[in-house]
């Protein structure tokens, strides 16, 4: 799959997020003290250190082994779960063993959704189990389930055109996967749109270019303006099967049973924060990290144990090599990215409260898997972009790396970016990422140990140089939003 060169913008509504591909908005430079353009001397100054970092990072598969431990022993890290908190406890113990000098947590209130038992089955024209996953935040079905005829549509426009056929039916969305930002709209808004016309439940084709017979979960949104109906994902193959019956004017009948429940009381989770204090400007901060939570299926290895581990290993490597940059490098494992982004919001609120916001030099998040690294995407001012561009050349011993405008995989640092903080996402080969995303197939065997090591290397180089470089990055002032 080719990732288009657009920026990701995330809209958060009622605890769910919708990624949209849009053209980046114009940025206005906000000068900060000691802001200057880095010239060609960046290679001269940091070339040897970068080569050493890359050599150390790629000499072992230590990061891959730690990633395997996290995803194998703590696979279902959904917000509110005991397993998520156990995983957080493990990271704290391991960070202490690594000798990281500053380690703490930040309590975060998070939504607590429980899947419960669930199943779907075809009952006409014959009996067949339909692999399914309830969508995060969905309501439950009645206690005896729902058995109803299906109506299959490929778009919201077709749903509207056939709205008179919808009452009392289960709406099945057989939307094609063009790109994630397009297809995910049916997952997020599909239940509400179908409920407008009297549907009793919805089934969403897996948001994936290659479902391989399994469904993909993810968050949904209820507006509160129409009745809440149960929503689940089914495989692309089964969505197409149901569509063929519909096209023959012989619609299938399906039974759907779900015990899903959003608990009335929120749960308390934690952001994990660990730091290497800066040698000259410890009050200035470069943030790196990923989100520690995952969905309650699969092992959350790609999404996002991998982002947690490669940023963690980058910090550990810098510390073990005895490198102490001028600024503080802060590692953050955000909680609740998948169904609320409360960790990212809580971090932003805390740094504003402590007067630390404008001390942030840059924030980097890894949340798109850790396949072969290709460079970085950036959101910020033109001045900051030009300052950062030469750093990509320091990684040429691996391959040619780019720095491009626009970033993806940056949900948790989105709240910082909306305040003007420059942000980056790691660009990797993503052809197969959505094959496994939010599914039972998200396990560590999909990742290559050498590519994991390379991702650690490029994060470590970028974080170290940005934390040590003489100049402050120019900030941006963005137009006001509801984010």
Q: How far apart are the C-alpha atoms of 54 and 51, rounded to whole Å?
A: 5
* Catalytic-labelled residue, pool 284, 337, 383, 451: 337
Q: How far apart are the C-alpha atoms of 117 and 139, rounded to whole Å?
A: 13
239 and 186 Cβ atoms separated by less than 8 Å = no
159: tokens are 């749903």
Q: How far apart are the C-alpha atoms of 67 and 60, rounded to whole Å?
A: 13
390: tokens are 């030469």
Q: How far apart are the C-alpha atoms of 41 and 39, rounded to whole Å?
A: 5
* Closest CA relative to residue 29, chosen from 286, 380, 349: 380
337 is catalytic: yes
Angle (CA) 210 213 218, round 5°: 70
Q: How far apart are the C-alpha atoms of 328 and 101, rounded to whole Å?
A: 11
- For the chain, the C-alpha Rg in angstroms (whole number) is 23
Residue 219, strand partner residues: 136
Q: Which residues are catalytic?
A: 337
């Amino acid at each position: 799959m080719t990732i288009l060169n657009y920026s990701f913008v995330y809209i958060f509504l009622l605890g769910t997020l919708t990624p949209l591909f849009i053209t980046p908005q114009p940025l206005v430079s906000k000068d900060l003290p000691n802001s200057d353009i880095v010239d060609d001397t960046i290679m001269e100054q940091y070339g040897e250190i970068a080569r050493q970092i890359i050599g150390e990072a790629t000499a072992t598969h230590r990061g891959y082994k730690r990633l395997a431990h996290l995803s194998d022993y703590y696979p279902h890290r959904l917000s509110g779960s005991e397993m998520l908190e156990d995983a957080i406890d493990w990271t704290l113990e391991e960070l202490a063993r690594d000798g990281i000098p500053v380690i703490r947590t930040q309590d975060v209130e998070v939504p607590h959704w429980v899947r419960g038992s669930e199943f779907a089955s075809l009952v006409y024209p014959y009996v067949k189990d339909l692999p399914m996953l309830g969508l995060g935040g969905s309501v439950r079905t009645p206690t005896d389930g729902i058995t109803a005829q299906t109506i299959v549509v490929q778009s919201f426009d077709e749903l509207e055109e056939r709205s008179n056929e919808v009452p009392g039916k289960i709406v099945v969305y057989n939307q094609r996967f063009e790109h994630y930002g397009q297809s995910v709209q049916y997952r997020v808004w599909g239940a509400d749109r179908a409920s407008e016309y009297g549907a009793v439940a919805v089934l969403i084709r897996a948001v994936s270019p290659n479902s391989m017979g399994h469904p993909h979960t993810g968050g949904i949104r209820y507006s509160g303006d129409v009745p809440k109906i149960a929503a689940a994902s089914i495989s692309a193959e089964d969505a197409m099967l149901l569509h063929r019956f519909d096209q023959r004017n012989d619609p299938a009948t399906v039974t759907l049973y779900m015990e899903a429940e959003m608990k009335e009381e929120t749960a308390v989770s934690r952001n994990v924060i660990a730091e290497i204090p800066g040698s000259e400007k410890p009050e200035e901060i470069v943030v790196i990290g990923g989100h520690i939570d995952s969905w309650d299926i699969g092992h959350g290895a790609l999404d996002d144990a991998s982002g947690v581990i490669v940023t963690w290993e980058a910090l550990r490597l810098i510390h073990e090599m005895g490198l102490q940059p001028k600024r503080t490098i802060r590692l953050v494992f955000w909680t609740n990215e998948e169904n609320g982004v409360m960790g990212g919001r809580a971090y932003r609120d805390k740094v504003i409260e402590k007067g630390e916001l404008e001390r942030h030099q840059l924030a980097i998040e890894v949340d798109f898997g850790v396949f072969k690294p290709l460079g970085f995407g950036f959101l910020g001012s033109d001045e900051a972009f030009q300052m950062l561009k030469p750093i990509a050349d320091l990684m040429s011993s691996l391959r040619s790396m780019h720095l491009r405008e626009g970033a993806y995989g940056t949900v948790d640092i989105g709240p910082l970016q909306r305040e003007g903080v420059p942000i980056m996402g790691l660009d990797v080969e993503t052809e197969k990422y959505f094959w496994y995303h939010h599914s039972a197939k998200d396990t560590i065997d999909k990742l290559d140990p050498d590519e994991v090591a390379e991702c650690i290397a490029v994060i470590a180089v970028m974080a170290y140089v940005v934390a040590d470089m003489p100049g402050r990055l120019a900030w941006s002032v963005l137009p006001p939003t509801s984010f």
